[in-house]
């Protein structure tokens, strides 16, 4: 591998300006892969490492396989210093070979029992060579899947051959398991942006229609606030349910994006809820929403609830994975998320 490729990466990343941390993460991660000669199909964002911990991104054969590199991105704070503590913990938890903390002008790498840190704008050829030696995976690394794994279908990180339909026995959530799996399969196989959006909306529609006393009333509704992906109607129940406090209707927005959803999208969604006088909204965001430092979507969502009693919940790929495994159902998931929002519980992601 030519060190000049990594030098170009260092110069480009350190000289660009970024609107926010998500913008930096997406741009830098893609350039990082190309500098290492790694196809970006092996780059995965917002990957669960443990029950309550996520990596900003990983480089791996698949989303669920052991990572080669754990990546963490920061734009807030002293750019002259890289804190490798969190990266070392994530690397240990995931058994990754290398952990990388990247800022717009600095890079820190932890590997084996060692670490190195460099300033990107002054990186020289020798330092670039050292980084390449550490960061470059073995030539056949991305081919190292055993034959049995290749023959099994993997959807959202779940081995479908192991799905047990008997586990899908829930009081308030009755879903056609085969239809659910097929809908997820269509999301995974979608190629164009239009297909990705349509299939993700179809998946959300299937999940909400599986809830007791709830029906998707309309889809892709255009009004003076823009377009609403799903309008869902609560039909009422003789028993107390989680929907009783939120009125007859709620809105659903679907974002099948490679990146997490940011503040502007949350504000737009809140605007739709405010104009339609709806107090409950659910965002299906495949890669979650932005968090951690600075202005972030999670903080805005919490503020909307505390200030206006407007409840916005987020369902991500991690939630859908648990549904696929039969470990949870949509009603219980929404109940848990409502509880966290109401009491401002920080879940560690």
Q: Summarize pLDDT for 85-113 with one digit per residue, the tens.
A: 889 999 999 999 999 999 998 999 999 98
Sequence-distant (6+) residues with CB within 8 A of 37 are 1, 5, 136
Residues 180 and 122 in one domain: no
Helix axes 193-209, 177-189, angle to 10 degrees: 160
**Any residues with CB less than 8 A from the CB of 333 and at least 6 apart, and which?**
315, 319, 322, 323
Q: What does the pLDDT read at residue 294?
A: 40
Mean confidence (pLDDT) of the chain: 88
210 and 105 within one domain: no
Mark whether 194 and 288 lie in a shared domain. Answer: yes
Residue keyed to tokens 């859908």: 320
**Is residue 94 assigned to a domain?**
yes
324 vs 43: CA distance, rounded Å: 23
Q: Is residue 44 situated within a structural domain? A: yes
Distance CA 7, CA 124 (A): 7
pLDDT value of residue 111: 95
Distance from the Cα of residue 30 to its chain's centroid: 16
156-165, 208-217, 262-271 — which is least confidently predicted?
Answer: 156-165
Look at 59-63, 163-167, 277-281 and tell me which has the smallest mean pLDDT: 163-167
Q: Is 178 a member of any domain?
A: yes
Q: Is the pLDDT of residue 51 over 70?
A: no
For residue 31, what are its two tokens? Answer: 């350039």
- Segment 190-195 mean pLDDT: 88
Please indicate, yes or no, whether residues 189 and 167 belong to a single structural domain of this protein: yes
CA-to-CA separations, 2 to 5, 109, 142, in angstroms, rounded? 6, 19, 20
Instruction: Identify whether residues 108 and 77 lie together within a single domain.
Output: yes
What are the helix (H) ranges across the chain? 3-15, 21-35, 85-94, 125-135, 147-151, 177-189, 193-209, 263-275, 297-308, 317-324, 330-342
Say which CATH number the domain at 299 has: 3.40.1350
- 273-312, pLDDT tens digit by residue? 999 999 999 999 999 998 644 458 888 999 999 999 999 9
Domain boundary residue, one of 82, 112, 143? 143
**Residue 154, beta-bridge partner list:** 159
Last residue of some domain: 112, 143, 174?
Answer: 143
Are both 213 and 135 inside the same structural domain?
A: no
Range of the domain at 203: 155-342
The answer on 215 and 273 residing in a single domain is yes
Point out the domain boundary residue: 143, 171, 199.
143
Within-domain flag for 210: yes
The predicted structure's pLDDT at residue 74:
87
Is residue 51, in this structure, part of any structural domain at all?
yes
pLDDT digits (tens, 9 = 90+) for 11-49: 999 999 888 888 888 889 989 999 999 988 888 888 888
Radius of gyration, alpha carbons of the chain: 22
**Is residue 109 located within the same domain as residue 192?**
no
Q: Does residue 303 sit in the same domain as residue 336?
A: yes
Residue 321 reports pLDDT greater than 70:
yes
32 and 79 assigned to the same domain: yes
Q: Are residues 128 and 187 in the same domain?
A: no
In-domain check, residue 348: no
Question: Looking at residue 57, which CATH number applies to its domain?
Answer: 3.90.1570.30
- Same domain? For 93 and 241 the reply is no
pLDDT at 323: 95
The predicted model gives 159-163 an average pLDDT of 78
Query: What residues contact 219, with CB distance under 8 A and at least 6 apart?
Result: 201, 205, 229, 230, 231
Total domain count, the chain: 2
pLDDT of the residue at 143: 73
């Amino acid at each position: 591998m030519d060190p000049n490729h990594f030098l170009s990466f260092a110069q480009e990343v350190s000289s660009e300006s970024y609107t926010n941390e998500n913008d930096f993460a997406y741009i830098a991660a893609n350039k990082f892969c190309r500098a290492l000669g790694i196809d970006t199909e092996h780059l995965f964002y917002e990957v669960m490492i443990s029950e309550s911990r996520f990596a900003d991104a990983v480089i791996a054969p698949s989303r669920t396989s052991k990572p080669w590199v754990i990546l963490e991105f920061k734009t807030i704070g002293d750019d002259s210093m890289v804190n490798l503590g969190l990266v070392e913990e994530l690397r240990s938890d995931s058994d990754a070979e290398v952990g990388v903390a990247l800022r717009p002008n600095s890079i820190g790498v932890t590997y084996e029992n060692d670490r190195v840190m460099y300033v990107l704008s002054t990186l020289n050829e020798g330092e670039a060579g050292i980084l390449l030696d550490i960061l470059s995976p073995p030539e056949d690394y991305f081919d190292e899947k055993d034959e049995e794994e290749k023959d099994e279908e993997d959807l959202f990180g779940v081995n479908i051959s192991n799905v047990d339909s008997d586990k899908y026995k829930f009081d308030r959530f009755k879903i056609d398991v085969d239809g659910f799996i097929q809908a997820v399969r269509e999301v995974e196989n979608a190629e164009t942006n239009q297909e990705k959006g349509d299939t993700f909306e179809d998946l959300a529609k299937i999940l909400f229609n599986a809830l007791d006393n709830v029906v998707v009333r309309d889809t892709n509704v255009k009004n003076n606030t823009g377009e609403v992906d799903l309008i869902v109607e609560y039909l009422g129940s003789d028993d107390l349910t989680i929907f009783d406090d939120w009125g007859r209707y709620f809105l659903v927005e679907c974002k099948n994006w490679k990146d997490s959803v940011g503040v502007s999208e949350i504000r737009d969604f809140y605007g739709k809820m405010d104009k339609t006088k709806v107090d409950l909204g659910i965002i299906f965001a495949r890669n979650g929403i932005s968090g951690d430092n600075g202005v972030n979507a999670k903080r805005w969502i919490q503020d909307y609830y505390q200030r206006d009693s407007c409840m916005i919940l987020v369902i991500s790929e991690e939630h859908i994975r648990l549904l696929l495994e039969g470990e949870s159902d949509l009603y219980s998931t929404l109940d848990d998320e409502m509880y966290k929002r109401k009491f401002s519980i920080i879940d560690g992601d």
